[in-house]
């Protein structure tokens, strides 16, 4: 089983979006996929419950640490969604079991500033320091045609101790599909193909770590 933990100190940066989109990707690839939602808001948990019958199911589990104990043994992909402002202590049980840790970041100076502190905290964690838990940043909600977006990604890459492995565009498709319990990987149409391309470097990075 591969366990992907998604976390950030910052709210609204795309943690649940990352979790649910990756879940739709792996479910579509035929893998037994489960989400443990450690956030009381339950966005990912409810998303899994909303998945329609014509797409492969994703098992949603609530309750953070307790949810981890309910993960079926035949699970191939486990995703862990976490709340904003999570403390290092709250993250600990998930850090212990994760194989990769993803940190989404929005391209704004406030978000970059807030995330820098969080990344510093991560660096102090033993499993991360000794390379047992690889960490990657995912730049989210980019407007690739704007200078500001590109500057923010360059600044992030220059300042971060961890690699920026993907840049995801800002798109209403993510908002609309989340409401339907779906992801961009549940579709094959021309409109979502460019969106899917954005995820390829991230999927490759995760595969390499596994
Ligand atoms: N690439 C994107 N393009 C457009 N909208 C996005 C994108 N990523 C996320 N969003 C939207 O931004 C909002 C916040 O995203 P999301 O819920 O994934 O963040 P979060 O980090 O899980 O938030 P929280 O800290 O509240 O749990 C949601 O409405 C989501 O649909
Ligand atoms: Mg969330």
Strand partners, 167: 139
Residue minimizing CA distance to atom 15 of ligand 1: 14
C-beta 178 within 6 A of ligand 1: yes
Q: Which ligand is nearest to the CA of 43?
A: 2
- Total residue length of the chain: 210
Q: In the predicted model, what is the mean pLDDT of residues 133-144? A: 95
C-beta 195 within 6 A of ligand 1: no
C-beta 86 within 6 A of ligand 1: no
CA–CA gap between residue 4 and residue 102 (Å, rounded): 7
Strand partners, 4: 79, 100
Q: What are phi and psi of 81, to 5 degrees?
A: -95, 140
Q: What is the DSSP letter of 62?
A: E
CA–CA gap between residue 120 and residue 185 (Å, rounded): 33
- On the question of pLDDT at 104 being above 90, the answer is yes
Half-sphere exposure (CA, 13 Å, Cβ side) for 24?
28
* Number of helices followed by number of strands (H, E) in the chain: 9, 7
pTM of the model: 0.97
Q: How far is the CA of 77 from the centre of ligand 1 (A)?
A: 22
Query: What's the pLDDT at 63?
Result: 86
Cα pseudo-dihedral 110, 112, 117, 118, rounded to 10? 110
Query: Could you tell which of 84, 139, 174 is best to mutate to test the pocket of ligand 1, judged by most ligand atoms within 8 Å of the CB?
Result: 174
The fold for domain 2-209 equals Rossmann fold (3.40.50)
Query: What's the pLDDT at 109?
Result: 85
C-beta 25 within 6 A of ligand 1: no
Q: In what order do the strands lie in the sheet with 100-105?
A: 59-62, 33-37, 77-81, 2-6, 100-105, 135-142, 164-169
Question: Among 85-89, 132-136, 162-166, which is the least confidently predicted range?
Answer: 85-89
Alpha-carbon radius of gyration of the chain: 16
Q: pLDDT tens-digit profile of 17-39?
A: 999 999 999 999 999 999 999 99
How do the domains of the chain map onto residue ranges? 2-209
């Amino acid at each position: 089983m591969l366990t992907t933990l998604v976390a950030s100190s910052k709210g609204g940066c795309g943690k649940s979006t990352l979790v649910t989109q990756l879940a739709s990707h792996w479910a579509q690839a035929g893998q037994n996929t489960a989400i443990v939602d450690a956030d009381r808001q339950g966005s990912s948990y409810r998303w899994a419950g909303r998945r329609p019958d014509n797409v492969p199911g994703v098992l949603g589990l609530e309750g953070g640490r307790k949810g981890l104990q309910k993960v079926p043994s035949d699970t191939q992909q486990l995703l862990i969604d976490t709340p904003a402002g999570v403390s290092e202590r709250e993250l600990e049980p998930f850090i212990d079991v994760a194989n990769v840790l993803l940190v989404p970041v929005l391209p704004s100076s406030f978000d970059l500033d807030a995330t820098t502190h969080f990344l510093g905290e991560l660096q102090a964690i033993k499993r991360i320091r000794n390379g047992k838990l690889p960490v990657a940043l995912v730049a989210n909600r980019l407007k690739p045609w704007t200078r500001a977006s590109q500057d923010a990604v360059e600044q992030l890459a220059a300042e971060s101790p961890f690699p920026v492995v993907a840049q995801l565009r800002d798109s209403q498709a993510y908002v609309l599909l989340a409401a339907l319990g779906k992801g961009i990987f549940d579709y094959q149409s021309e409109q979502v193909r460019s969106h899917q391309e954005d995820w390829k470097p991230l999927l490759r990075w995760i595969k390499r770590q596994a």
